[in-house]
């Protein structure tokens, strides 16, 4: 196995050093295992070495596991700094804060572990969800939520959604001529039974977009007009008119379609397709009802 290019390693180290500079607004993009978490850890360490209060540092991650990993890495590094000998500490600080006064940073680095431990609540290394939840608890009236709200568990949310779905289906069943029943009949006629739950889940996930659509529209006719415009369907077009146009197109090109059917019939793998094309052509001659 070839050894790694020293120049590439030096370039990577320099890029990580630039990314960990707390004076720079950095966007780091790299593949898994390339050192993104290390860059973020180094950035936090450099802030601490610069004298920033631990309570003023906020580090956000996507998952609880990532937050725990980040917290453990920083704590482990600070604990090592408090115990290792001077030569090793100098080497670590040179790699982390090249060009800085290493002699002045050494006593600061020694005390950081105890300083972070003494910070009430510790450093804020948490998930985005936890951070947003803390904001809502601090400003419930501004956010229009109950001051003592609780977060629902995923299992409880799934149970409530199933109950709401069952209530909707029961309501549709008790009103055979109602709008909900008609909408449900149209929906289930176009998909398998198992897809209904998936569709309801997608609608629920995008409910904010539907709400904005309803608020911007004067009513259902305006929404239908917008959908027709998006699909390039004319205001006078119907299912019957579209099908009639399709039949006319097929009838006008009957000779070409027959040649396609004959060619497909000569191919063992496409023989059934050729027969199907011939059936479509015959149906077009007999009228659009049979074609449908």
Q: Assign 125 to helix, strand or coil.
A: strand
Q: How many CB atoms lie within 10 A of CB 257?
A: 18
**Final residue belonging to a domain, choices 143, 162, 183:** 143
pLDDT at 139 (0 to 100): 93
d(CA 256, CA 59): 66
In a domain, 149, yes or no: no
Q: Assign 122 to helix, strand or coil.
A: coil
Residues 136 and 245 in one domain: no
pLDDT at 271 (0 to 100): 57
Close Cβ partners of 50 (under 8 Å, ≥ 6 residues apart)? 22
Q: How many CB atoms lie within 10 A of CB 42?
A: 23
d(CA 43, CA 20): 4
pLDDT in tens, 51-89: 899 999 999 988 888 899 999 999 999 999 999 999 999
Residues 166 and 219 in one domain: yes
Which of 236, 245, 240 shows the shortest CA–CA distance to 289? 240
pLDDT at 171 over 50: yes
Residues 11 and 139 in one domain: yes
**Final residue belonging to a domain, choices 204, 231, 258:** 231
Residues 126 and 64 in one domain: yes
pLDDT in tens, 205-214: 888 888 888 8
In a domain, 186, yes or no: yes
Which of 83, 86, 74 shows the shortest CA–CA distance to 49? 74
Residues 247 and 172 in one domain: no
Place of tokens 């005390």: 111
Domains of the chain: total? 3
Instruction: Work out the angle at residue 37's Cα, subtended by the Cα atoms of residues 82 and 45, and round it to the nearest 5 degrees.
Output: 35
In a domain, 79, yes or no: yes
pLDDT band at 247 (very low <50, low <70, confident <90, very high): low
Residues 277 and 188 in one domain: no
Q: How many CB atoms lie within 10 A of CB 193?
A: 7
Q: What residue spans of 149-253 are helical by DSSP H? A: 154-174, 179-188, 193-205, 207-216, 220-231, 239-252
Which domain, by its residues, includes 162? 154-231
- When the pLDDT of each residue in the chain is averaged and rounded to a whole number, the result is 82
Instruction: Work out the angle at residue 175's Cα, subtended by the Cα atoms of residues 173 and 181, and round it to the nearest 5 degrees.
Output: 65
Close Cβ partners of 190 (under 8 Å, ≥ 6 residues apart)? none
Instruction: Work out the angle at residue 59's Cα, subtended by the Cα atoms of residues 53 and 60, and round it to the nearest 5 degrees.
Output: 155
Residues 254 and 281 in one domain: yes
In a domain, 218, yes or no: yes
In a domain, 24, yes or no: yes
In a domain, 164, yes or no: yes
d(CA 283, CA 247): 9
**Final residue belonging to a domain, choices 231, 252, 282:** 231
Contact of 177 with 183, CB cutoff 8 Å: no
In a domain, 1, yes or no: no
Residues 16 and 133 in one domain: yes
Residues 120 and 51 in one domain: yes
Higher pLDDT, 240 or 2: 240
Look at the alpha carbons of 192, 197, 202, 206 in this order and tell me if their dihedral is positive or negative. positive
pLDDT in tens, 88-109: 999 988 888 877 888 899 999 9
Biggest alpha carbon distance in the chain? 95
What mean pLDDT is predicted for residues 20-25? Answer: 84
Question: For 13-27, 183-197, 227-241, 269-283, which range has the lowest pLDDT when averaged over its residues?
Answer: 269-283
Q: Assign 124 to helix, strand or coil.
A: strand
Q: Tell me what percent of the residues of the chain surpass a pLDDT of 90.
A: 20
d(CA 56, CA 125): 11
pLDDT at 258 (0 to 100): 73
Q: Assign 61 to helix, strand or coil.
A: strand
In a domain, 148, yes or no: no
Residues 245 and 225 in one domain: no
pLDDT band at 252 (very low <50, low <70, confident <90, very high): low
pLDDT at 1 (0 to 100): 43
Question: For 47-56, 58-67, 165-174, 283-292, which range has the lowest pLDDT when averaged over its residues?
Answer: 283-292
Residues 96 and 219 in one domain: no
């Amino acid at each position: 196995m070839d050894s790694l290019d020293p120049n590439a390693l030096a370039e990577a180290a320099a890029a990580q050093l630039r990314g960990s500079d707390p004076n720079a607004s950095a966007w780091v993009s790299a593949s898994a295992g390339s050192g993104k978490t290390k860059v973020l850890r180094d950035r936090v360490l450099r802030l601490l070495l610069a004298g920033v209060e631990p309570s003023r540092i906020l580090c956000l991650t996507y998952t609880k596991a990532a937050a725990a990993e980040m917290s453990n890495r920083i704590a482990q590094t600070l604990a090592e700094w408090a115990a290792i000998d001077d030569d090793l500490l100098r080497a670590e600080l040179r790699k982390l804060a090249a060009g800085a006064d290493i002699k002045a940073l050494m006593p600061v680095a020694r005390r950081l572990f105890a300083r972070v431990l003494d910070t009430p609540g510790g450093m804020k290394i948490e998930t985005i969800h936890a951070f947003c939840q803390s904001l809502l608890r601090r400003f419930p009236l501004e956010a229009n939520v109950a001051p003592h709200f609780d977060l629902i568990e995923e299992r409880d949310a799934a149970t409530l959604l199933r109950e709401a779905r069952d209530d909707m289906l029961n309501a549709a069943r008790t009103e055979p001529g109602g709008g909900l029943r008609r909408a449900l009949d149209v929906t289930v006629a176009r998909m398998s039974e198992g897809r209904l739950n998936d569709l309801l889940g997608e609608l629920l996930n995008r409910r904010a977009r539907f709400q904005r659509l309803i608020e911007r529209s004067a009513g259902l006719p305006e929404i239908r007009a917008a959908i027709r415009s998006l699909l390039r369907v004319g205001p006078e077009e119907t299912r019957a008119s579209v099908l009639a146009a399709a039949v006319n197109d097929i009838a006008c090109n009957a000779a070409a379609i027959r040649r396609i059917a004959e060619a497909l019939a000569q191919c063992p793998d496409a023989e059934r397709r050729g027969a199907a094309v011939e059936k479509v052509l015959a149906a077009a001659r007999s009228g659009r009802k049979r074609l449908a």
